[in-house]
Amino acid sequence: MKGLFQELKRRNVFKVGIAYAVTTWILLQLTDIVSDILVLPEWAPKLILLLLLVGFIPALIFAWAFEMTPEGIKLESEVSEDRSVTRRTGRKLDYAIMILLGLSLAYFIWESRFEQKTAAYEQAAKNPPVSPQAEAPFEPVREISPDDAEINKNSIAVLPFTNRSADQADTYFTDGIHDDLLTQLSRIDAFSVISRTSVMEYRDTTKNLREIARELSVANIMEGAVQRAGDRVRINVQLIDAETDEHLWAEIYDRELTTENLFDIQSEIAENIADALKATLTDNEIATMANAPTDNVAAYDLYLQARQFTLGESQIGYQTALELFKEAINQDPEFTRAWIGLGRAHITNYWTYGGDPDDRQAAREAIDQARLLDSTEPELYMAEGFYWYWGHLDYERALYNLDKALELMPRNEEAHMWKGWVSRRAGFWDQAVASMEDSLRLNPRMHFHWVEYALTLLYLHRYDEARAALDKAQELNPNHFWTKDGYARLALQTGDIDSAIRYTTGAQHGDEFTFLESYMVSRLAADRFEEALETARNLNSDMEVQRQLIQLREMWTAQILHYMGREKESREAAQAALFRLQGLRKKLGDDYRLDHAEALISPLLGDTPEQVREKVNRAIASEPDDAVEHYRSKLQRAEIFALAGMAGEAIELLESLFPPPSETNVFVIEASPAFDGIRDLPEFIEMMEQHR
């Protein structure tokens, strides 16, 4: 036996066996990676393993029976002992084994640090840690600071999925699957799911899971990857306890690419999350998730592309989305969600890009068609809410539909924020604050929503809270004009005109009307009339007609020239403004915005008090019922009366504006040159002292 052992050693049989075994392990790891990329069938790695195992014995036999010589491969019996090179071959095998072991170690380190292996997924799936979690009730947020708020144990942040497809253009498909999963999970009352907007910034982050969880104020993180190849799709997902870094659950789904399979996977993911978190799903929630919206993969693919274009919030993006939604409908005329997407794109075009009545009508038709196909679709109520808000300023119907949407999707942050906006317009201020807080808990990284929340607090004169919200917005996006505009409006209400000037510097070169308006108000408050006049005369015509007001360059010019004491030029500019407004009336008809604009220039035209009062009353009668615009237009009416020398009417209006909600206080009135003509009157002084 000892002689056999020595002979096996001399002929390098042991070394060949070791080299073969290590090489086999490396090849299996490479097979695992390649199978992910090529979406190989599940039996492929097993077949390769079998072939390698079958080859092991022949390799050992070959090492025993043959020898590599300078003249080629020969039978060991044909090589004399003095010409044998087995020792030299053994040294080469030693080097090969060391290299192979080095490669194995390097792969092992890389894998353990940067990849979640299939074995890890399966182990986590089979043996999730058991820790009972109580289902968290859904309550309005009153304290939304992540540092102070108690973290909901069923809260989840689904990080952007990795696109593992060979075609990197498939990112829209991966993002679409991710977005659909978020939408589905938001419909489940047991979960608190962070919105898409807040998680997308972590796509390429170097932050660890604990850091991300703390920033988003969640207990659990989900990671995943999507791989599409031909008619197959593979989706890897894992749920991790962010505090302990423990895998609560993981799974790999390898299916034929059909919409039914995609939504079955989403349903299974939700059920597995519920099991891991010890939460309960209702039968209706499970049934809704598993219901594929279309059985046409091409239509679904077009739908995902269309949604991706809407995320850019640009006119070109929405026009492209319209065409893609229509093409998806051509592929499947009964695709309800494509009809809903088409309706939303049309109503967005109407509100944001030109106000074409044809867009509003097209939105109505698309939504009606969606309702005929499936009146139970939760997104349908969202689209109806947008339609009545943006299409008709009908806040009662908008709120009704948004409430219905929230009954079906209680964790949908978009529905909560829209309810906040509509509630603010309807004058339900406490409800507006509560809804915006609900949205911010689910979408804490959306800086625009923090600005909107701050403005709501600003209307309510809760200035310290408004500043804290703006600070949060600035932390998320330091240089955005929305944040600067919010700070400028806060500065004006707190008497800090210098800061308002600083925040609005450069606004005259942009295309955002609200920011430009803050620029103009700041310059007028600082008596920097020349700057304001130059900006007014160079105003882009695209900014003159807004969705809820009309402010022509001639109107601005007439007002500023009046403040500068250049009355003749002011009246000429006002007459030019009136001429243009009459031309717009032929195009727009009896539009409340025109009534309001004509009232604004009435005192600058030299109208009598009776004429001014008549135009103001006509503007009041025609304006929509809107709490935000109500206080804005009320302040402007006070300015109109003050410019006309009608002190009594101006003071009466101001008295009603000092209490919140409004953007009016002593600082604002003191800084406005519109009241210079009545500022020295005893009754005006008394009013200001009373409210100071």
In a domain, 479, yes or no: no
Give the pLDDT band of residue 305 (cuts 50, 70, 90). Answer: very high
The parent domain of residue 228 ranges over 155-285
- Is there a single domain that holds both residue 172 and residue 277? yes
Q: Is the pLDDT of residue 531 over 80?
A: yes
| β-pairing verdict for 162-163 and 232-241 | unpaired
Q: Residue 376 above 60 pLDDT?
A: yes
Question: Are 159 and 227 members of one domain?
Answer: yes
- Spatial contact of 56 and 44, defined as CB atoms under 8 Å apart: no
| 234 DSSP β-pair partners | 227, 254
Is the same domain home to 166 and 268? yes
Q: What is the model's pLDDT at position 354?
A: 73
What does R_g of the chain's alpha carbons equal in angstroms? 35
Number of domains composing the chain? 2
For residues 333, 337, 343, 344, the Cα torsion angle rounded to the nearest 10 degrees is -160
* Confidence bin at 105 (pLDDT 50/70/90): low
**CATH number (domain holding residue 232):** 3.40.50.10610
* Cα atoms in the 13 Å half-sphere on the side-chain side of 219: 16
Burial annotation 524-563 (CB, 10 A radius, 16+ → b, else e): bbeeebebbbebbeebeeebbbeeebbbbbbbbbbbbbbb
Specify if 13 maps to a domain: yes
67 shares a domain with 18: yes
Residue 127, pLDDT score: 44
77 and 161 fall within a common domain = no
d(CA 537, CA 560): 11
Contact status, residue 235 vs residue 226, Cβ threshold 8 Å: yes
| Residue predicted with more confidence, 366 or 200 | 366
DSSP string, 625-641: --HHHHHHHHHHHHHHH
Which residue has better confidence, 51 or 355?
A: 355
Within a domain: residue 231? yes
* Each residue's pLDDT tens digit, 171-190: 889 998 998 888 888 888 88
Domain annotation covers residue 206 = yes
pLDDT band at 363 (very low <50, low <70, confident <90, very high): very high
Provide, rounded to the nearest whole percent, the portion of the chain with pLDDT above 70.
Answer: 79
pTM: 0.76
- Of these ranges, 79-88, 354-363, 609-618, the one predicted with the greatest mean pLDDT is 609-618
Residue 473 lies in a domain: no
Residue 135 has pLDDT above 50, yes or no: no
As a whole number of angstroms, the distance between CA 189 and CA 351 comes to 32
Question: What pLDDT score was predicted for residue 67?
Answer: 59
Is 472 part of a structural domain of the chain? Answer: no
Q: What is the pLDDT of residue 118?
A: 42
Residue 213, pLDDT above cutoff 70 = yes
Q: Is residue 254 one of the residues assigned to a domain?
A: yes
In this predicted model, what pLDDT tens digit does every residue of 382-422 receive, in sequence order?
999 999 999 999 999 999 999 999 998 888 999 999 999 99
* Domain-ending residue, one of 86, 115, 144: 115
Backbone angles phi, psi at 187, to 5 degrees: -85, -5
Q: Is residue 332 part of a domain?
A: no
Last residue of a domain, one of 285, 306, 340: 285
Q: Which of 115, 145, 173 is the last residue of a domain?
A: 115
